[in-house]
Chains A and B, each alone.
Chain A
Amino acid sequence: MEFIMAIVIGILFMAAVYLILSRSLLRIILGTGLLSHGAHLLLLTMGGLDGTSPPVLAEGVTDYADPLPQALILTAIVISFGVTAFMIVLFFRTYGELKTDNMNLMKGNDEHD
């Protein structure tokens, strides 16, 4: 299963990078969303996918899934949500001020050179 997950993670990263390299600001934000999904799945996969029981104590169970990566991912999910929310609002404001979402036009002005 880890092999398939590794490929899925690769595809997620690839799609994320492709979107991040585009000129549209909205696509870049979509890309960062995919990137964080990729990172979370990578964390989970690296911890091993062979656990047969969720990490909640239960009678007679010994084979729990690794809890540590899960705790790490939970933290990461919350943080990436905070950042994504911030970015969406930033995008909203940027578009409101600059009236464009074309990254090629957001270069600063030449007067500063």
Chain B
Amino acid sequence: MSLEFVWFIFLPILAAIIVPFLFRAIKNIHTGWFVLIVPVVLFIYYARFVKGILNGEVHISELPWIPSLDISFTAYMDGLSILFSLLITGIGALVVLYSIFYLDKQREKLNNFYVYLLMFMTAMLGIVQSDNTISLYLFWELTSISSFLLIGYWFTRDRSRFGALKSMMITVFGGLMMLGGLVLLSIMGDSYSIRELIANSSSIVGHDYFTLAIVLILLGAFTKSAQFPFYIWLPDAMEAPTPVSAYLHSATMVKAGLYLVARFTPVFATSELWIWLVTGIGLLTLFWGSFFAVKQTDLKAILAFSTVSQLGLIMSLLGASAVAYHVTGEQAAIFKVAAFAAIFHLINHAMFKGSLFMVAGIVDHETGTRDIRKLGGLMSIMPVSFTVAFIGSMSMAGLPPFGGFLSKELFLTSMLSLREFNLFNFDTWGIVFPVIAWIASIFTFVYSFYFVFKTFTGKRKDHELPKKPHEAPLGMLLSPIILAITVVVIFFIPNMVGKAFVNPAVVAMQTGIYTHPGDVGIQVSAWHGWLAPEFLMTLGVIAVGALLFLTMARWQKLYDIQPQYLTLNTLYDSLMIFGETGMNRLSRFYMTGLIRTYFIYMFTFIVTITTGALFIQDAFAVDMNSFSPVNAYGLMTAIILIIAICMVLFAKTRLTAIIALGGVGYSVALFFVIFKAPDLALTQLVIETVSVALFLLAFRYLPSLKSHGETKKIRVGNLLIAAAVGVTMTLIALSAHSQKLIPSISQYYKDTVFTEAAGGNIVNVILVDYRGFDTLFEIAVLGIAAIGVYSMIKLRLSRKEKSDESE
């Protein structure tokens, strides 16, 4: 089996390329039939791995992607990957089959649908087979994107778009957090390979980033697997076509988070935080989901909440399975059950939830509504659908003789065993686990009965239905029937399923405890004996559950006590609104549109940064000895300059201001004379003259100097900022002059100006010889300014447009 099976991950997405062509070219055959080939082929292909993996083999296949960064598509096939791959392709095939009858080939855009679905299949296979954390993340986000596209499949509906956006926001948030966690993990373990990370787990434990990595990775897993409080996207994702809900939002995508937790259990299991978070959040989700499922009136919403709750159940089992790493000897045997139970229920749930969604879709398709209040008495019209729904629901409720019964018994066993665990305060709080599990099981029982019996039994309400109900075509029923049969079969051969699929997965998930699938010696038994606590608890569930179901009409009103504004959905909505309006308000607050405000930001920033750096770095210094002696002419010029500046500042008319500005310019020219810079003085004089002339040219057209209502307060503020900038510049000038670190390079120019450049005026030689490029572009600047001035005066585009409009 050395064939490069990593390529098979990409088979669906490659097939997706030809789907639109098939859709256009072949009109009379439903496109789904062609698509069906892909998952069937993959399922058969992956099924061939089962035997080898059962004997303890693992397979690795590598496709280099960015070898220099050590990033590759490495497919790793062990018990856990093969289980998920088979679920993805198997249920994928059934879902495609179902969708062929569910989606109309004339009315629906089938090309879009199957392209998205195949894209999703690749993404999901990629997640479960990836050994490289980066490619794992890549596929992880691809599921988010394809799920977004599938939820928004009917994009003309508002609810679809809302649901798609919500699921995108939440899962991508989690995905990004997970990326952070994976990167931290790769830093700690010094590898991108998950296998190597697991092998290096001893160096990861206790690292500084350890706790952070746990939290981030769990955020990714919890958002994807719809755990509390991130489950809120799942009920809204029910706007997707039912095949999508059945596939993505019950059997595969929402299990990606579970896969992640299971995969990283060997790395993090030693952490107390991990056990508490995974188990605790899982149980909370289990209870919350089952409790609120009874409130729903939409068939798919009931199933969505039930999915949330069942995912919580599996999550709590995964958390409990980590306990096995902390105990040894005889005690260890009790805790090993949890891992087995988690995987076993994962399989069961994929089967019965897939079938239930399909039944809900059939009911919707054949009656025109999913509202449970309008449905009833469909049993005689749709006997096959009823049978399937009955089997699925009873399995969900955990009743014999269905698969769900066995996994629920294992679940109760695991939760009961947590009491025996004597680390991390579990001996004190351990009793809480079975109690919550038991209460949640009761609600599970209630909503399972609620789902099936409110839909199929009771009075017929045909007048309320948009369509005249009738049984679905055989093709549509085929997939749910196959799943329902599996549910029953699992009950009768649990140990075969356990041996073939669960044990290898458990080995993959608990490396270090087991080495070979044959080592997992857990036997599932339907019968624990009369006095076994599991049996008594099940009896209790049935008794209390039945009582609650029969009296439902009386206590269902209790749900109305919870006010609408206290729900997590309201929290999400207000967060989104706050994000939009809050950020808008924030940017309106600092983006005033006034140039003065922005200047104030800039000047304040400059002053703070430079003076801050000056004093924090202790760079301020005044070295009086480095200064040249005071020059009397210079002093006088300085006084004249300051007077001119004051005139500019306090000028009442524009003419005074312009002339004073000229005065400043001439004083500067005087300085150039005093400080031995003849070329500068010359240029400065000419340019100042031209500038003043320019001002005076424009003078006639310029407005008079007005304060435009500047209050005294504003002026004082301006003055303070201005003073701060002035002081900063003085301080910088003094310190810079007092600390010359290296001598000037000017000596070179002085020495070589004649011998190298044949000139006497050093400044001019620098300008045109040593540093001629500066001069070239300075000429360019002048040229551009001239063109700019010309075009500004000549071009009158906007006025022309205005006159065109008025004509």
Contact residues of A with B, CB < 8 Å?
1-24, 26-28, 30, 33-34, 37-38, 40-42, 44-57, 64-68, 70-71, 73-75, 77-79, 81-86, 88-93, 95-97, 100-104, 106-108
Contacts and interface: CB of A to CB of B under 8 A. Distances in A.
Nearest to B727: A10
Interface in B621-635: 622, 624, 626-631, 634-635
Contact of B733 (A6, A83, A86): A6
Top 10 nearest A-B pairs (CB, nearest first) are A14-B726, A10-B730, A82-B785, A18-B722, A67-B762, A50-B628, A17-B722, A57-B760, A55-B762, A71-B766
B762 A56 contact: yes
Given A22-B710, A55-B761, A96-B701, 7 more contacts: A2-B737, A5-B634, A24-B707, A52-B676, A74-B763, A81-B687, A107-B594
Contacts of B745: 68
A13 B774 CA distance: 26
B674 to A, nearest CB: 9
A104 B709 CA distance: 10
Contacts of A14: 722-723, 725-727
Contact of A71 (B622, B672, B703, B767): B767
B577 interface: no
B595 A103 contact: yes
B654 A15 contact: no
A2 B628 contact: yes
Contacts of B634: 1, 4-5, 49
A53 B774 CA distance: 25
A84 B709 CA distance: 26
A28 B634 CA distance: 28
9 contacts: A23-B708, A33-B665, A48-B737, A57-B753, A66-B746, A78-B778, A86-B788, A88-B698, A103-B708
A17 B702 contact: no
B702 A26 contact: yes
Contact of B676 (A65, A90, A101): A65
B645 A34 contact: yes
A10 B702 CA distance: 30
Nearest to B795: A93
Contact of A92 (B702, B706, B727): B702
A81 B691 contact: yes
Contact of A55 (B687, B730, B763): B763
Among B664, B702, B726, max chain A CB count under 10 A is at B726
Contacts of B706: 24, 101-102
A104 B679 CA distance: 41
Contacts of A92: 698, 701-702
B675 A44 contact: yes
A40 to B, nearest CB: 7
A19 B628 contact: no
A103 B600 CA distance: 14
Given A26-B654, A65-B676, A34 B793 contact: no
A90 B634 CA distance: 36
A75 B701 contact: no
B103 interface: no
B726 A13 contact: yes
Interface string B774-807: 1100100110111011001100001000000000
B708 A104 contact: yes
Contact of B729 (A27, A42, A75, A102): A42
Contacts of B798: 97
A90 to B, nearest CB: 7
A36 to B, nearest CB: 10
Contacts of A95: 701-703
Contacts of A49: 628, 631, 634, 675
A42 B729 CA distance: 9
A7 B635 contact: no
Nearest to A42: B733
A105 to B, nearest CB: 8
B648 interface: yes
A16 B703 CA distance: 20
B705 interface: yes
A67 B793 contact: no
Interface residues of B, number: 97
B69 interface: no
A38 B804 CA distance: 47
A55 B754 contact: no
A47 B763 CA distance: 14
B156 interface: no
Given A18-B722, A44-B672, A54-B676, A89 B789 contact: yes
A13 B725 contact: yes
Contacts of A50: 628
A56 B726 contact: no
A56 B775 CA distance: 19
B761 A79 contact: no
B593 A9 contact: no
A14 B649 CA distance: 10
Contact of A91 (B661, B665, B698): B698
Contacts of B749: 67-68
B599 interface: yes
Contacts of B766: 67-68, 71
A6 B734 CA distance: 6
Interface in B730-753: 730, 733-734, 736-737, 744-746, 749-750, 753
Nearest to B675: A49
A69 to B, nearest CB: 8
A33 B661 contact: yes
Interface string B194-231: 00000000000000000000000000000000000000
Nearest to B782: A82
Given A30-B648, A71-B766, A3 B705 contact: no
A6 B645 contact: no
A18 B649 contact: yes
A13 to B, nearest CB: 4
B694 A85 contact: yes
A42 B753 CA distance: 26
Given A41-B671, A68-B745, A73 B676 contact: no
B775 A75 contact: yes
B694 to A, nearest CB: 5
Contacts of B641: 8, 12
B680 interface: yes
B400 interface: no
Nearest to A55: B762
Contacts of A40: 668
B610 interface: no
A10 B763 contact: no
A101 B638 CA distance: 32
Contact of B750 (A64, A77, A81): A64
Nearest to A50: B628
Given A46-B736, A70-B677, A103-B595, A56 B708 contact: no
Interface string B689-719: 0110011001001110111111000000011
Given A21-B599, A46-B736, A93-B793, A65 B675 contact: yes
The residue in A64, A83, A106 that gathers the most chain B C-beta atoms within 10 A of its C-beta is A64
A48 B743 CA distance: 12
Contacts of A108: 593
Nearest to B766: A71
Nearest to B637: A8
B793 A1 contact: no
Contacts of A79: 778, 781-782
